[in-house]
A and B are shown apart, each in its own frame.
Chain A
Amino acid sequence: MTKFEYAPAPESTSIVDLKSEYGLFINGKFVAPKGGKTFVTINPANEKILAKVAYASNSDVDKAVIAATEAFKKTWSRTSPSERGKYLYRIARILQERAREFAVLETMDNGKPIRETRDIDIPLAAAHFFYHAGWADKLEFAGVGSNPKPHGVVGQIIPWNFPLLMLAWKVAPALATGNTVVLKPAETTPLTALLFAEVCQQAGLPAGVLNIVTGDGATGAYLVNHPGIQKIAFTGSTQVGKGIARAISGTSKALTLELGGKGANIIYDDAAIDEAVEGIISGIFFNQGHVCCAGSRLLVQESVLDEVTEKLKRRMSLIRVGDPLDKNTDLGAINSKAQLEKIHELANSGDSEGAQRWSPECELPGAGFWFKPTIFSGVAQSHRIAREEIFGPVLSILTFRTPQEAIEKANNTPFGLSAGIWTDKGSKILWTAQRLKAGVIWANTFNKFDPASPFGGYKESGWGREGGRHGLAAYVKVAK
C-alpha cells in the first residue's frame, strides 16, 4: 500500500439467521399463507435472493384482522396500562440486545450502510419503544384530551426506506395507547418486521396484539378498506396516500398520513459554511436520499454560491459509495430497480430541462442498484427536479438574493414536510422558521430525529403527527 486507503471492513453476516422462507405472523404464530403464494426479497446491493416471503391473500388479511379484534376485546383492552408499558420496555430492551442482528439484516434487505443502521435506525427504533413505554400509564396527562381511549384495531402500512424505524414509529404508540395492530411492511423490505415478530414472541406479547401481513400494494389496499379496521396509519408516497384518503372518506376510520417532501435547505451567507456543507451532505445523501424529509432543494444565498458549491463538490468526492455492509461505506445501494429507474428518469429530465449535472468520480459495483451522489446546479423553480420528489441521492441547487425570496421559494411547493436553516444569527433563524410552511424545521443541523419530537407535514406531505405527545393523539379517541 503506497497511500492511505481504507481496507474493506465488512460487518459479518453470521449473526443473522436467515430462514429460506417466512410465513405471516398472525395471532402470535408464523403461519403459511392460504394458497401458498410467495414472493422473494433480494439484497439490492448484489441482487441475490435473501428469502421467500408469504404473500398474504385477502383471507389471510381477514384472519389477521380477526386475530387483532379478538386480542383487543379479550386481552389487550383488559391489560392494565402499566402492564402494556412493561411489554414495550421489554421489546425496547430486546431490540437493544439484538441490535447488531437487526442492523445487519436491515442493511442486507434495504441496501443502506451498516453505519446508519447501527448508529441511527436501530438505536432510534429502540428509543421509540422506550419513549412510548413511559406514556402507556400516563396518557391521561399527555394533554391529548380527557379519558383517552384506543381506537381498537389499527392498520399500519410502512415504507421501505426505514423499515424497522417506521415500524417502531407506528407500533410503539399504537400499543402504548392500547390498540392492536395489523401491520403491512413494504414489499421490498419485509425481513426486519418479521424478525421483530420474533422479538414480540420473545417478549411474551399476547397473541394477536401485533399481526404482520406481507404482500404488495394490493394487500395494503385490502387492509385499508377492511371494515374491521378503525384507524389507518400510512407512510409512503403522496399518490398512494391520496388514494387511501379517497378510499376511506365517508367511513368513520381515523387516518394519519406521512407522505412525500421536497425539503428546502436554506444556506444564508453568514452560515458556518463548513458545517452547512456537512448538513447539505446529510440532508440529501443520508440513506441514499430515500428520506421523505430529505433536504433535496438547496437554496443558497447567491453571494456564497461559489464557495458553497466548491466545498460541496470537494466533500462529495470523499463520499464512500459501495458495499453497504462495509463499516466505512457512506452511501449504499438504491433499494430497488424500480426506484433506480425513477431516479434515472428524473435526473435525465434535469439534463433535458437545462440544469448542469455533476457527480464525483467513483466506481460503482457491477451487480445491484447504484446511483452516484449527484448535484444539479442552475436549477429553476420550474424544473421537474425542483418540484418532484426524486427520493434518491440527487440534489437540486437554487439560489436566492434576500431572506424574503428564500421563504417564497422554499414555500413554493405542493409539499411541506421539512426545511433547514443555516445561519449563525439566532434572530434570523426565528424569523425564517416562523415563515416556513414545513412540519419539521432544523436550524444548523439536518435529519435529526427524536421520539419526543413530533414529525409530520403540511399540504401534500401528510396529515397528523407521529412521535411526541402529538403523535399519541392520533391513536386515541377522546370525548369531544
Chain B
Amino acid sequence: MLLNSVSVDELARDEESLKRFLRTLPPVDQVGVEGRAAMLSTRSIKNASKNFAIDLAIRMVDLTTLEGADTPGKVKALCNKAVRPDPTDSTVPHVGAVCVYNDMVSIARAHLDSIGGHDVPVAAVSTAFPSGRASQAVKIQDTKDALDAGAGEIDMVIDRGAFLSGRYGEVFDEIKLIKSLCGEKAHLKVIFETGELVTYDNVRKASFMAMLAGADFIKTSTGKVAPAATPPVVLVMLEAVRDFHIMTGRKVGVKPAGGIRTTKDAIKQLVLVNETAGEEWLSPNLFRIGASALLNDLLMQRMKMRDGRYSSSNYVTLD
C-alpha cells in the first residue's frame, strides 16, 4: 500500500485517528524478534567484508560527548578526532557527526570549520535532553538555541511520560513542532529512550508515530538509560523504517545509541541493517551509531586488519 502525503496527514488528523492507526500495526512477538536478532548475530564477517564494515561504521559514528564536565577543550579535542580519527593514517574516513549539548554547538562548529571539517555536521541534543521533562517553551528555546549556534542535526527526546500514559497526540504534536523549527536547516532525530518504553510493541508504535510526524531519523536512546540499543530493539525499528518506506515512499534513518562499544557490536548492527531494511540503509545518510568508545575500537581493529596484529591502546588517540 503506497500512501501519498495527503493520506499520511489523514492518518494523524487528530489524536483519535492517530491512535486508531497505531492500533492497526501488527504486534511484535518478543520471543520471535529476539530469536531473529540472535540468529543474525551469528553472521561471520571476515576479511574484505570486515574491512568494508569497519570503514562504513566509522563514517556512521556520531562521535558523542554528553557530560556535565564537558568543556570547550574537550569538545575541540573531540572535533579533531572526528575529522582525523587516526592521525597516522589519512585513509581513515571522518565520522558521521559530532554530538554535543546545545551550549557546545557553536564551539564545535567553529572548531570543525577551522580544521577543515566542513563536512562534519554538529548534532545537538535537545528538548530538555535526556529526560524531556520541561515546558514546551523551554524545549522550543532549547532547539532554537542549537539551530542558531549552527547545529545541522537536532536529536530531540520524546516525552515518555505522555507516551506511556497514552497521550500520543501530544507526543506527535511536539515532534511536529520541533520538526517545523528545524525546517530545511537541520535533520531531526527523534529519541525514544527504548529502555523506558520497555516493550517492542511500544517501540514499533513510537517509530511509526515519529515517522508520521516527520522525523528524519528515529533513535533508540539517550545513552543515559540501560538497556539501550539492543539488537532486537534496533531490529524492530529497522522493520518500521522498511515498512514505512513501502507505505509512503519516504526513507527514514535509524540511529542506535548506547551500549555499542566494540567493532563486533557495530558489525552486528550493520548485519541487522543489511538483512532488514536492506542495502540502501547502509549509508551515513540513513544509519548512524551514537557512540564514544566505539571509535577507538574500530580504529584498533582497522590497524589489526592492516598490520595483521593488534597494537596497544597507546597507538590510538584518547579523545
Residues of A in contact with B (beta carbons under 8 Å apart): 1, 3-9, 115, 119, 270-276, 278-279, 318, 327-328, 424, 444-445
A272 touches B26 (CB 8 A): yes
Q: List 22 A-B contacts (CB under 8 A).
A: A1-B48, A3-B282, A4-B56, A4-B270, A4-B282, A6-B49, A7-B45, A7-B46, A7-B50, A9-B46, A119-B42, A270-B27, A272-B29, A272-B33, A273-B26, A274-B32, A275-B28, A275-B33, A278-B32, A278-B35, A327-B42, A445-B31
A3 touches B279 (CB 8 A): yes
B275 touches A318 (CB 8 A): yes
Which of chain B's residues have a CB closer than 8 A to the CB of A274?
Answer: 26, 28, 32-33, 239
A7-B47 contact, Cβ under 8 Å, with A119-B42, A274-B33, A318-B275 = yes
B26 touches A4 (CB 8 A): no
A271-B26 contact, Cβ under 8 Å, with A3-B282, A279-B32 = yes
B26 touches A7 (CB 8 A): no
> With the chains together, A133 CA to B26 CA distance in Å?
44
> With the chains together, A274 CA to B26 CA distance in Å?
8
B279 touches A4 (CB 8 A): yes
Which of chain A's residues have a CB closer than 8 A to the CB of B42?
Answer: 115, 119, 327
Would you call B52 an interface residue if the criterion is a C-beta within 8 Å of the partner chain's C-beta atoms?
A: yes
Which of chain A's residues have a CB closer than 8 A to the CB of B53?
Answer: 4
Residues of B in contact with A (beta carbons under 8 Å apart): 26-29, 31-33, 35-36, 42-53, 56, 239, 270, 274-275, 279, 282
> With the chains together, A328 CA to B275 CA distance in Å?
12
B282 touches A7 (CB 8 A): no
Least CB separation from A318: chain B residue? B275
A328 touches B43 (CB 8 A): yes
B43 touches A6 (CB 8 A): yes
Q: Which of A8, A278, A327, A424 contacts B27 (CB 8 A)?
A: A424
Which of chain A's residues have a CB closer than 8 A to the CB of B47?
Answer: 7
Which of chain A's residues have a CB closer than 8 A to the CB of B279?
Answer: 3-4
Q: How far is the CB of A284 from chain B (nearest CB, A)?
A: 16
B29 touches A444 (CB 8 A): yes
Q: How far is the CB of A359 from chain B (nearest CB, A)?
A: 19
Q: Which of B27, B28, B32, B49 contacts A5 (CB 8 A)?
A: B49
Instruction: Pick the 5 closest A-B CB pairs, nearest first.
Output: A275-B32, A272-B29, A9-B44, A275-B29, A327-B44
Least CB separation from A9: chain B residue? B44
Least CB separation from B52: chain A residue? A1
> With the chains together, A424 CA to B31 CA distance in Å?
12
A7-B48 contact, Cβ under 8 Å, with A272-B27, A275-B33, A424-B27 = yes
Which of chain B's residues have a CB closer than 8 A to the CB of A276?
Answer: 29, 32
Q: How far is the CB of B14 from chain A (nearest CB, A)?
A: 26
Q: Which of B29, B51, B274 contacts A1 (CB 8 A)?
A: B51
Which of chain B's residues have a CB closer than 8 A to the CB of A7?
Answer: 45-50
> With the chains together, A276 CA to B28 CA distance in Å?
10
Least CB separation from B38: chain A residue? A119
Least CB separation from B235: chain A residue? A274
Least CB separation from A118: chain B residue? B42
Q: How far is the CB of B270 from chain A (nearest CB, A)?
A: 7
B32 touches A444 (CB 8 A): yes
Which of chain B's residues have a CB closer than 8 A to the CB of A424?
Answer: 27, 29
> With the chains together, A434 CA to B195 CA distance in Å?
38
Least CB separation from A306: chain B residue? B1
Which of chain B's residues have a CB closer than 8 A to the CB of A318?
Answer: 275
Which of chain A's residues have a CB closer than 8 A to the CB of B26?
Answer: 271-274
Which of chain A's residues have a CB closer than 8 A to the CB of B35?
Answer: 278, 445
A272-B32 contact, Cβ under 8 Å, with A1-B48, A3-B282, A4-B56 = yes
A444 touches B31 (CB 8 A): yes
Q: Which of A6, A271, A272, A273 contacts B44 (CB 8 A)?
A: A6
Least CB separation from A2: chain B residue? B52
Which of chain B's residues have a CB closer than 8 A to the CB of A1?
Answer: 48-49, 51-52
A278 touches B36 (CB 8 A): yes
> With the chains together, A3 CA to B47 CA distance in Å?
14
Q: How far is the CB of B26 from chain A (nearest CB, A)?
A: 4
Contacts A4-B274, A444-B29 given; 14 further ones with Cβ under 8 A? A1-B52, A3-B52, A6-B43, A7-B48, A7-B50, A8-B46, A119-B42, A271-B27, A272-B28, A272-B29, A272-B33, A275-B29, A278-B35, A445-B35
Least CB separation from B42: chain A residue? A115
> With the chains together, A115 CA to B40 CA distance in Å?
11
> With the chains together, A424 CA to B32 CA distance in Å?
12
Q: How far is the CB of A204 from chain B (nearest CB, A)?
A: 35
Q: How far is the CB of A411 from chain B (nearest CB, A)?
A: 25
